Structure 1
Amino acid sequence: MTVPSVFIVIGPAGSGKTTVAQKTAKEHSAAYLDKDRVCGRFVEFALKAAGHDPTDRESNDYYRDNLLPLEYETLLDVAGANLRLGRSVVLDAPFGAYFDEPDFLTRAAEKFHWPPSAATVVRVRVPQDLLRDRLIRRGLERDQWKLSHWDEYWSVYGSLECAWSGVQYLDFNNETPLPAEG
């Protein structure tokens, strides 16, 4: 059996992660795992149930301390289940909260019993002005906090660099126009 591949597509909201991730999954006949599709409804419900705005995750300590770790653990666990079946996976999620942990992926692979696999991090890059225009154009409620606090959002999320070890990095400059849902 061949070694399955793990493609982790990262970038800020509106960068085109989903478009790049879906194309990658199709090209490699890999399982496509989008954090928001896997966990989004549960997270929104949990935020509402706890009395929080379900669209504000960037400035919400409750989300960051309690729900964000569960989202990523769930995503990585589902990835492990696919990898153990010999199925390559594409993970579509920002992962920014974990960029400064060099052994993050190694620990996740261990914790969720990933078999040996080749990992590639695809960094989707977009200039600040284009990213802001895309968020405005797509008009999603979950982007309102980002747009209302643009300078704060960009100062944190626009400059994050992934420091994971044991992975291959591939930069993807995504300045091309995206479909309406981009």
Structure 2
Amino acid sequence: GHFALQQRIIDAWKRRHTGGDPHRPVLILVGGFAGSGKTELARFFVQLTGWPLLDKDPLTRPLVERLLVALGGDPNDRHTELYRERVRSVEYDCLMQSAMANIKCGISTVLSAPFISELTDPDWMQRLSNRAASMGVDVFPVWVRCDEESMREYITFRSAARDAWKLSRWDEYMATIDLNLRPAVPHLVVDNRLGTAVTLADQARQAMGAMHA
């Protein structure tokens, strides 16, 4: 199952990198639920490679908050229909346009965002891969796996205003997410449950090895 898929991705990358151009740029998409440790993992990739990081939250939050208020909403809303239908797509559009600006210059880039709808939508992923491929860039999706206890701890610890609703209605929030959700496209899974034997840093190194072996 899981390990076999991971092995297939690694093998495919090895074949491509030994037979192809090892300097071909890469767009890494680090996705996962809130508090799963995406930003932390993305930072490890950045430390290992020196590639730029585009983290959706700092990149778009000031605009998202203003837009929500302008639309008559709450700046910290990340769960209502208003956010989902009128703001979220604009937010991801900003992130992806920034990414495109980098890969058009041939710069490998690490993206950090939940990517829940995107990674589970084969059409969205195919369009992104096609656009990237036309610029000579490969898309490498990474899913950060986590558990409820760890996510709650991470979210509580970072105490961000946008998480207030999740923490105050935790059971209601957990009912909306499926921890077994995985991307609909080949991807690498990084395990960030508390007490995981292999640290995120080591898993980042292994993932980089998979891309460049």
TM-score by length of 1: 0.85
Match of 1:19? 40
Query: Which letter does structure 1 place at the counterpart of 2:183?
Result: A
Q: Which structure is higher in helix share? A: 2
Change (3 A) 1:5 1:99: closer
Match of 2:187? 168
Tell which deviates more after alignment, 4-13 or 154-163.
154-163
Alignment partner of 1:10 out of 31, 53, 61: 31
Is 1:115 the counterpart of 2:135? The answer is yes
Question: Structure 1 CA distance, aligned partners of 2:154 and 2:70?
Answer: 30
Instruction: Describe the SS at the equivalent of 2:140.
Output: strand
Question: Structure 1 CA distance, aligned partners of 2:65 and 2:163?
Answer: 14
Q: How many residues align?
A: 176
Query: Which letter does structure 2 place at the counterpart of 1:83?
Result: I
Question: Structure 1 CA distance, aligned partners of 2:147 and 2:179?
Answer: 11
Query: Which letter does structure 1 place at the counterpart of 2:100?
Result: G
Q: Which has the larger radius of gyration?
A: 2
Query: Which letter does structure 2 place at the counterpart of 1:89?
Result: T
Q: What are the equivalent positions in structure 2 for 1:129-148 lying under 5 Å apart? A: 129-148=149-168
Q: Calculate the aligned-residue CA RMSD, in Å.
A: 2.4
TM-score by length of 2: 0.73
Structure 1 residue 174: Cα displacement: 4.3
Query: Which letter does structure 2 place at the counterpart of 1:27?
Result: L
- Structure 2 stretches of 5 or more lacking a match? 1-20, 201-213
Match of 1:93? 113
Question: Structure 2 CA distance, aligned partners of 1:168 and 1:14?
Answer: 20
Aligned 8 A contact 2:147 2:179 in 1: no
Question: Structure 1 CA distance, aligned partners of 2:130 and 2:183?
Answer: 18
